[in-house]
Structure 1
């Protein structure tokens, strides 16, 4: 990661986290999530999902392993109030304690701020983390660092968190919010393509559905990166239409950012509409037309990847 004493720091108020501790924590969480926690090394993190028994996502998260049985679960703050009691329901007699975190989450793009480096070493590579007392630094990718201060004391920021969301969109990393809970199986938002699903681990809620889609079915909906010109507010769950199918939506918005009328978003779309090159419009067939761009990873079963039409 790069180091820069002049970095701008953004407050990631859209995110929240849970702390999970206790001697049975790894065994417990491993049986709940789509990814393999037993293979996650201490001081590392990975993406994972939590599903209903029908295989629909209730949460998408970063799972940070601070110690053998000490984890942070970082996700969109809006889903925590529904996710927390559901997860606690399965603890039963296990030695597991789950609490909502009250600390502050900050992000930096393209460098590790000097103040953070004064407190601890910077993580060496994406997927790694450095934790010290009540603080953690996570290397999210080659450009971004996530800082968690559980004491709640952290430098304020004037930089918009929209920049962080925009980087997730560029990277093809979804967000599950209250508007989109139970809307998608993991493959629809490409969790299998970003290493957030392990198909060789044991059972977890919804595992049979997720495995059946992987081994027996053809995925008819996938997540794509698009842009458009509009000054309208766009929210997760907003519908996408095609002029060739005016009476029924061909997709829904997963996440979006808008700056001066230029909007970037991720949307789950029918793969047929993408393969056939149909024109895509937000909100209705008469809505603004959307331009498709390439994600940094290939999408299976798409015969021709969309041309990136960005300038």
Structure 2
């Protein structure tokens, strides 16, 4: 098996996350309102805490997959900006009945990644790891030596810059799903391993799409999950490219690329594939007969929900 072609920098480095945007909820009903819309338990979170979560349509298919960050007087939903055209109107649909304000705050709140050996110590030295404070830059930890900055502290400009694409490659290696607009309305949360990433509460009250999400857990009504793949290709890889699985002398369509990182011919990608796919399955990109992909182990335990 080839070595993984992406690793953390040898020193703390910054990534300007232009791809990511921010939806902000304010108002006295913000927690109650969002709690009734999304998969996570919003009411259980305190200021400074964060979690992955999903916002589904009535059939349980995801409009938005986001990281929820709790501030003292607001809630922040961090996800790719390209999802907002559909996700934002859906989130606002019932807001007229509640005391809640919902807005795209992406231009007000720049987002940076900080990663690399020694990043934990650098964050601590800057005093950025404190609990969330409205209007002041702060940081949340995603993994050892990997942090997300909310706001633009001057100190971040002193760090060497790395390509934003490498940040998303690190997300892939962490088994964290990232949706594109073309995936909206395609996947239930469990297909993106959200139940294994603490992104679904099965104890909270009703929310949009809950019946489908619960059925996938209690009746085994889901046969697909997120995989991490590595390999080589001959052409530029993009989300939505079709994956094929070799069965004897034939190739069968098995899924599409969710997100990808590429350096010349080497690639890392995430994809939603059948749960029972063999660990040694031979995969390729449709139309690229010279491509070859194999699975990498997930860095977390995956339940059978």
TM tier relative to shorter chain: 0.7 to 0.9
- 2:7 matched to which residue of 1? none
Which residue, 91, 108, 117 being the options, matches 2:114? 108
Specify the alignment match of 1:88 in structure 2: 92
TM-score by length of 1: 0.85
Q: Tell whether 2:243 aligns with 1:240.
A: yes
Tell me by how many angstroms 1:280 deviates: 1.3
Alignment of 1:109-188 (within 5 A): 109-110=115-116, 111-112=118-119, 120-123=127-130, 129-131=131-133, 133-149=135-151, 155=157, 158-188=161-191
- For residues 219-234 of structure 1, the aligned pairs below 5 Å read 219-234=222-237
> TM-score, normalised on structure 2?
0.86
Q: Residues 40-59 of structure 1: matches in 2 within 5 Å?
A: 40-59=45-64
Root mean square deviation of aligned Cα: 2.7
1:36 aligns with 2:38: no
How big is each residue's C-alpha offset from its partner over 1:273-301, in whole Å with a ceiling of 9 and x where there is no partner? Answer: 336x4321112583512111101123346
Deviates more, 1:225-234 or 1:36-45: 225-234
Distance 1:300 1:286, change over 3 A: farther
Residue deviations 1:121-180 (CA, integer Å, cap 9, x gap): 425xxxxx5436332311112221111217999739631012211111111000111021
Q: Distance in 1 between matches of 2:214 and 2:182?
A: 25
| Inter-partner Cα distance in structure 2 for 1:219 and 1:114 | 42
Unaligned runs of 5+ in 2: 1-10
Query: Quick one: distance in 2 between partners of 1:239 and 1:33?
Result: 29
Work out whether residues 120 and 130 of structure 1, in 8 Å CA contact, stay in contact via their aligned partners in 2: no
Indicate if the aligned counterparts of 1:242 and 1:285 stay in contact, CA closer than 8 A.
Answer: no
Contact 2:246 2:252 in 1 (8 A): no
- Where 2:157 maps in the other structure, the secondary structure is coil
Please give the secondary structure, in 2, of the residue aligned with 1:35. coil
Which region of structure 1 is more displaced relative to structure 2, 37-46 or 284-293?
A: 284-293
Q: Is the 8 A contact 2:36 2:207 kept in 1?
A: yes
Q: CA deviation at 1:44?
A: 0.7
Counterpart of 1:304 in structure 2 is none
- Distance, in Å, in 2 between the alignment partners of 1:79 and 1:55 is 17
Displacement of 1:94 in angstroms is: 0.8
Partners in 2 of 1:7 and 1:149 — Cα distance?
Answer: 18
Q: Distance in 2 between matches of 1:23 and 1:132?
A: 15
Q: Which secondary structure state, in structure 2, belongs to the residue aligned with residue 179 of structure 1?
A: helix
Aligned residues: 291
